[in-house]
Amino acid sequence: MPIDWTASEVYFTGVHSLFLFAFHFALLLNVSVLSVNAVTKSATETTIPTQHSVVKVITFSQEPYWDAPWRFQQVSQAGGSGFVVSGNRILTNAHVVSWAKQIIVKRYQDPKSYLAAVEFIGHDCDLALLKVYDSEFFNGLQALSLGSLPSVQSSVTTCGYPAGGEQISYTRGVVSRIEMSAYSHAGNRSFLIAQTDAAINPGNSGGPVIQDGKAVGVAFQGISGLENTGFFIPTPIVAHFLKDIQDGVYNGFPVAGLRLEGLENPAYRKFLGMDSISGGTRVDGSLPFTSIKSGLETNDVILKIRSIPVSNDGTILYEGNRVHCGLLFDEAQVGDTLSLEVWRRGAKKIVPVPMISYTADLAQGNQYDTLPKYLIHGGLVFLSLSRDYLKTLGRNWAVSSPPDFMYALQYQPYQNPDEAIEEPIVLASILPHPVNANWVVKAPALLTKVNGIKINSFATLDSILTKSNSDKAGSSDTGSDLFEFEGSKLLEAMDRGQVKQAMPVILSNYGIPAARRLR
């Protein structure tokens, strides 16, 4: 509590005045000693770190419109938190600084603003590391060290700058559970997560979660409709991120690419010859790259990962918590090799599995900081099929999206990988112009072929249209390009000469700077 020396205290005289002075002096001395020792003092319960290690992050960001990616939304301002780590850098959430045009950081009770920039960012794990241009920002600041994974039912304190005020805020809570769960920032990744009843509000994101003077996590998300519930990224994930970037490159978390199923059915275990073998989770399928490079096969039963037993429901015991065995793949760095003990056709076998990076499924999740591709041809707007585009179709996009869209994006790569499309292309809209006045196919529609050639990426589409427009004789007698779409199975045509004449007018009428952006 601050000491307020006011004129009303002067009326004390004699012994009372001397006693009051001694009391205030002792109190002031005690407060000073506590403030100096707060960083190094070891406590049996949660302690508040020096507030100077926690910073306020202000981001000015601008996102594109995913259904018209040559246009951009208004610049928006949002606040978050962060904290100082070793190397004079600030750790925060990736979602705090995504699509940033400008980043400002502010110290505790310091009115000065400092410019910062993203040095490393991991959208998969929702973490980012910032550098500050002015080195004076770190004068007198002490880096917070990372603690270990907190125990369930232990107390933690969340620190940050949540909405509703300008000053730093502290909220204490209890760790209620630790498990594997989805990270909402990426949308298609699940990692270790810790739940607490300490309030985590907008603006808290990126702030440290403290236990015994050390950061044991980074506050990052909540669930709408739940009260007194927040989530933080625990230290095993944070430590992985910080180790990954030591070579100057962020490779991300390796993806096993395996579809695992529990093996609790006694009849199935008997069928696999596992009557006397306990535990194990079955490989139900895998992405093409994993089946080739990992050596794992469908119906392999994973018994151990790094000598850690895997239960028949696919879980392991991890520091007293029952979590999915995928955590052990997450702990590995890209380039590592994990040793798996598997049961295959009646015998145990050791299979070394190399940990590699996989980014072919980015479109299945939320994407950031890279402008979306597009191509316009005769007013036809072609976009990459992605989760971000589907979200433009409405709040309930997962239900209302065309079934062939959802299948091509989410399910075909796993159910029928040999027929999966590398980069599905969708006709998102049609910009009205006489050249497309008689066009019958309605948007949105999934493009399958052009001039009889299967379209599996923007590179293929652009190559076909570029070649046909440069071919003097044309690729057909009609001088048209033929487009085929999924579902309707209708063929539609565009006259090449008319398209060439119409494109400058279309771009000018709709204020579009370029007909394509393919990188």
What are the structure tokens assigned to 37, written together? Answer: 């020792």
Burial 284-316 (b: 16+ CB within 10 A, else e): ebbbeebbeebebeebbbbbbbeeeebbbebbb
Q: Is 486 left (phi over 0), alpha (psi -120 to 50) or beta?
A: beta
Are the beta carbons of 116 and 132 closer than 8 angstroms?
A: yes
Q: Determine the number of helices (DSSP H) and then strands (DSSP E) in the chain.
A: 12, 28
Q: Which residue type occupies 188? A: N
Residue 89 neighbours by CB distance under 10 Å: 19
| DSSP state, residue 401 | S
Look at residues 429, 449, 448, 450 and name the one whose alpha carbon lies nearest to residue 439.
Answer: 429
> What are the E-state strand segments in 222-332?
230-234, 258-261, 281-286, 301-305, 308-309, 315-318, 321-324
Nearest alpha carbon to residue 372 among 443, 428, 413: 428
Q: Which DSSP category does 427 fall into?
A: E
Provide Rg for the chain, Cα atoms.
29
| Residue-level length of the chain | 519
Residues with a catalytic annotation lie at: 95, 126, 205
* Amino acid in the structure at residue 310: V
One-character DSSP codes across 319-375: TTEEEETHHHHHHSPTT-EEEEEEEETTEEEEEEEE-----TTGGGS---SSPPPEE
SS3 content of the chain, % helix, strand, coil (to 5): 25, 30, 40
